[in-house]
Amino acid sequence: MRGRSGGGFRLPGGRLGLGGIVVLLILSLVFKRNFLSLAGIGGTDSTQAGPVQSSPEEDKLKEFITFVLNDVQSTWDTSLTQQTGTPYQHAHLVLFRDAIESACGFAEAATGPFYCPEDHKVYIDLGFYQELAERFGAPGDFAQAYVLAHEIGHHVQWLLGTESQVRRLQQNHPGEEKQLSVALELQADCYAGVWGSSAARRGELQSGDVEEGLSAAAAVGDDRLQRMSTGHVSPEAFTHGTSEQRSHWFRQGMETGSLKSCETFR
């Protein structure tokens, strides 16, 4: 999905829509450009592309996502400055269903979560969480939190200048584009773990939460998604990392709580 950034939730070979379009749910997220831009105001918007009725379940999900967003960004308010000297600036979150028009173009549910640098917002289709649980076998509220924390991890990369450096390298060395993409995505997984480490220290996590996060990271590994879509694995096409790599780097962030431990480019 070119022109959009962030996203660890791609399926190689196509897209998987919520309306039964069985093309791979997150492929666009890798082909998009991982531009990360800062969002000036924190908060959550909800948008619907059709007559979708709200429900107590959806309202509860929105409340939970808003809580996670505030907690993740509050963590980075302190951690980013303390660990790097770079002040954190809040991103903005848009929740939608079915389709939405962003500054990066028209996005459908099939697009998956993404960050748009042009309007400084993270976009998440609420139905994605159902797919994460039912199709990819990664249920639980902490699995949902991991998705958002990963996208905010891309925002941190933008603030630190990592994202722009990687994009320049990809332009100058096109043969290394996928390898650099994998390193960028794995670092965002590690940054999600850094937030998880803080949440654990503050007593926010419950028994089984870490396992849910690891399960979500593994569920969207390139190798697993390729097997689901084509029945075989093509390492040369990896753009996000294997299930093992994604789980490893998420755990790395969880165990250390340190951005310095997230040197995936080495």
For residue 144, what are the CA distances in angstroms to 10, 133, 256?
A: 15, 9, 22
Specify the amino acid at residue 234.
S
Q: Per-residue pLDDT tens for 52-77? A: 457 888 888 889 999 999 999 999 99
Instruction: Quote the pLDDT of residue 26.
Output: 38
Name the residue among 4, 223, 254 with its Cα closest to residue 108: 4
Q: Could you tell me how many helices (H) and strands (E) the chain has, helices first?
A: 9, 6
Query: Which of 31-40, 45-54, 101-110, 198-207 shows the lowest per-residue confidence on average (mean pLDDT)?
Result: 31-40
- Could you tell me the two tokens for 163? 């994202």
Contacts of 20 (CB under 8 A, 6+ apart): none
Distance CA 55, CA 57 (A): 5
Q: Beta partners for 92? A: 121
Given a cut of 60, whether residue 262 has pLDDT beyond it is yes
Provide mean pLDDT across the span 11-17: 34
Q: Which pLDDT score is estimated for 3? A: 39
Average pLDDT for residues 177-200, to the nearest whole number?
Answer: 95
237: which 2 tokens?
């096409």
| Angstrom distances, CA of residue 199 to CA of 175, 228, 258 | 39, 33, 13
Closest CA to 142 of 215, 93, 44, 203: 215
Question: Interior CA angle at 10 toward 73 and 175, to 5°?
Answer: 100
Structure token pair of residue 257: 């709580």
Q: Which of 196, 25, 36 is nearest to 116 (CA)?
A: 36
Distance in angstroms (rounded) separating the CA atoms of residues 58 and 36: 28
pLDDT (tens digit per residue) in 82-104: 999 999 999 999 888 888 888 77
Give the orientation angle of helix 56-84 with respect to helix 177-201, to 10 degrees: 100
Query: What is the torsional sign of CA 21, 24, 25, 29?
Result: negative
Which residue is it, tokens 């509860």? 60
Paired sense of beta strands 105-108 and 99-102, if any: antiparallel
What pTM value is reported for the model? 0.79
- The pLDDT confidence band at residue 6, using thresholds 50, 70 and 90, is low
- Choice between 260 and 24, residue whose per-residue pLDDT is larger: 260
Domain boundaries, the chain: 27-259
Q: What pLDDT does 49 receive? A: 44
CA angle 147, 168, 166 (to 5 degrees): 30
